[in-house]
């Protein structure tokens, strides 16, 4: 059984991501197998794409950049990211991931 693209861990979200660096723009791009595909404009050089992905996820989930961390996949296209206590569910994800995956994301943690 494979890992889901998104899962809850307490108040945090764990994202399984397939990264596509060097894209025309940074955006959610659907699913790639069991992973969420995210295009990132920054090149995969000297950690620039990872930092751009971190900032992209922070903006998408309405959290500070410090609340987004790379769990694994530093030099791989396949990455695991943690978003601490997301405050918003990105509308773009609704088309690819079940709404129940977003349960309680729209509400700030108590």
Mind listing the pLDDT tens digit for each residue in 66-103? 999 999 999 999 999 999 999 998 988 877 666 545 55
On whether residue 101 sits in a domain, the answer given is no
For residue 78, the enclosing domain spans 6-86
On whether residue 110 sits in a domain, the answer given is no
On whether residue 103 sits in a domain, the answer given is no
On whether residue 94 sits in a domain, the answer given is no
Cβ atoms of 35 and 18 within 8 Å: the answer is yes
Q: What domain count does the chain have?
A: 1
Cβ atoms of 14 and 105 within 8 Å: the answer is no
Rounded average pLDDT over 98-110: 48
On whether residue 33 sits in a domain, the answer given is yes
Q: What is the CATH number of the domain that holds 13?
A: 3.30.1200.10
Provide the residue count of the chain: 110
The pair phi, psi for residue 62, each rounded to 5°, is 55, 50
Question: Could you tell me the pTM of the whole model?
Answer: 0.86
On whether residue 108 sits in a domain, the answer given is no
For residue 52, which of 16, 85, 22 has the smallest C-alpha distance? 22
On whether residue 34 sits in a domain, the answer given is yes
On whether residue 32 sits in a domain, the answer given is yes
Q: DSSP labels for 44-57?
A: SSTTHHHHHHHHHH
């Amino acid at each position: 059984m494979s890992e889901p693209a998104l899962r809850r861990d307490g108040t945090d979200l764990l994202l399984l991501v397939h990264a596509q660096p060097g894209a025309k723009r940074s955006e959610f791009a659907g699913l790639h197998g069991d992973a969420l595909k995210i295009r990132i404009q920054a090149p995969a050089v000297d950690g620039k794409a990872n930092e751009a992905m971190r900032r992209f996820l922070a903006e998408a989930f309405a959290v500070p950049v410090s609340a987004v961390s790379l769990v694994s996949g530093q030099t791989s296209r396949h990455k695991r990211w943690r978003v601490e206590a997301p405050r918003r569910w990105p509308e773009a994800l609704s088309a690819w991931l079940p709404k129940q995956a977003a349960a309680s994301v729209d509400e700030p943690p108590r």
